[in-house]
Amino acid sequence: MPSLPQFDQAAFENPFVDELPGEASGDNRPRQVPGYCYSRVAPTPVADPHLLAWSEALGALLGLATPAARGPAVAALAGNLVTASMKPFAARYGGHQFGNWAGQLGDGRAIALGQVVAVDGARQEIQLKGAGPTPYSRRGDGRAVLRSSLREFLCSEAMHYLGVPTTRALSLVATGDEVVRDMFYDGHAAPEPGAVVARVAPTFIRFGNFQLLAASGEIDNLRALADYVLRHHYPELGPPTPETYVRWFVEIARRTAIMVAHWMTVGFVHGVLNTDNMSILGLTIDYGPYGWLEPYNLSWTPNTTDFGGRRYAFGQQPRMGMWNLMALAQALGPLVPDPQALRAGLDTYADTLAATQHALLLRKLGLTARAPAADQALTEALPPALAEAGVDMTIFFRQLSHLAPALVAAGDHAGSYRALLAQAAYPEPGTTAEALLAWLDRYAQRLRQEPAPPSELRAAMLAANPKYVLRNYLAQTAIEAAETGDLAPLNTLFEVLKTPFAEHPAHEELAAKRPEWARDKPGSATLSCSS
């Protein structure tokens, strides 16, 4: 059997560059770039690229060998080597940031190398984040620091293994250079180690790509981009026509709803749901100040920049998905005779979100669709009860999975309920578990209607409720170790997060509630938009 090629030997295809209008001046200076969908741009070399982490499973899917710590493959993963088949580019897009139109944004520190054909025949684009300035860097340097890069690498892969629609990460490479950042925008800028992440997705096209073309009146480019996406990523919808554009928007809305429903049922908070951070494929994209609920709180956001309005708080994510789709519909309006026809997509989003979230919750609770009205009332009553009790969502559902078989038997389970809450709740002034205790009684009664034997019920619930998620304090611990050259915490965390539904008895500490020391420590609970 022939050996797999190294990354620097991969054959790249370049349909985005070959089929869409772009500018090829090679000028990296920040500037407006009207009339184009992208700019050809070369990555800027770094001092000492060396591999910190590699996703073996994703590498195998792409048909690539695991690289050595240093060498041509890692040079290419850092941007120091551009091979003959690569045509690096930075995409041009705009977007609404915190509800305000920001005009041209674009790939300010991400450079796409092109696509490779995976072993399953799918084409995957590979993009280097932190590889240097582009015309869209504005006031930035195009670089990324180790802390944000490690978090993106880990979370991209962790979300994949949780079953959440997401972009992925192939590698994490240290650059040997320092990058100056003001972590909390408070005037305390400091040098930090730099890094580059190789991100992978079928495409990184966003809602904002279409928004900027529409806002600039570039209707020919808008249509060309829409037709490109239809050809390459939605071929099942048929040739481009006004009717196809409507069906396409409906499908984008459906995929977006499924993504948001997964976020809501795994307790993930994206943190920066600007329209330029919304994938046209319904994938979680751009892992900045994200977080998992600790404790359950609909108004919680991990993003310090969003503390004033909490626009992107956990409970706002369904509404923000709709808001962003409305912005995309407005951008696509010039392509259809009656823009009102796009409202079908918004209806699809609302219906799909509700149905998917309900179905996912039923699965987490070990319930089948036997009593629709009663089940709807049951699932709708759970979030406020979790919030009132200050419960850790991940621990609650995992422990409920273990408890459920005992609840099938009638009897007094008050002691078991209290034990569950002792494990899962963060006791705070004003919290009360009365509503959640009452809910657990209702749930136990409903559970007894299920025909599955207790052992099957428990196994199904454990397969739906992860024990391990990438809590911010765990990522911060791995970051601090990696900054000193110790990669053991990163490697351990990565291995455990690849099988988040397994027990991993040797790593129980990675499933623990957030410790008190992490409540207010920078990077361990909340973060800023700083790289």
Backbone angles phi, psi at 10, to 5 degrees: -65, 145
Name, in order, each residue with C-beta under 8 angstroms of 4's C-beta and a sequence gap of 6 or more.
63, 64, 65
Between the two ends of the chain, the Cα-to-Cα distance in Å is 42
Q: Is 107 among the residues known to form the active site?
A: no
Work out the widest C-alpha separation in the chain, in whole angstroms.
75
Distance of CA 232 to the CA centre of its chain: 22
Amino acid at 21: P
Measured CA to CA in angstroms, residue 147 lies from 143, 401, 496 at distances of 12, 34, 19
Backbone angles phi, psi at 258, to 5 degrees: -65, -45
CA angle (528, 529, 531) in 5-degree steps: 105
Q: How far apart are CA 442 and CA 365, in angstroms?
A: 12
User: Which sign, positive or negative, has the C-alpha torsion 153, 156, 157, 158?
Assistant: positive
Own/partner contacts of 353-360, CB < 8 Å, gap of 24 or more, are 353/257, 353/260, 353/261, 353/318, 353/321, 356/257, 356/258, 356/261, 356/262, 357/261, 357/264, 357/265, 360/261, 360/262, 360/265, 360/464
Q: Alpha-carbon distance 158 to 154, whole Å?
A: 6
> d(Cα 27, Cα 50) in Å, to the nearest integer?
28
CA dihedral 37, 157, 475, 258 (to 10 degrees): 70
| Bridge pairing between strands 190-201 and 144-145 | antiparallel
Active site residue: 107, 276, 286, 375, which one? Answer: 276
Is 404:447 a contact under the CB 8 Å cutoff? Answer: yes
CA-to-CA distance for 314 and 38, rounded, in angstroms?
33
CA angle 212, 216, 219 (to 5 degrees): 90
Helices in 163-197 by DSSP H: which ranges?
none
Residues noted as catalytic: 276
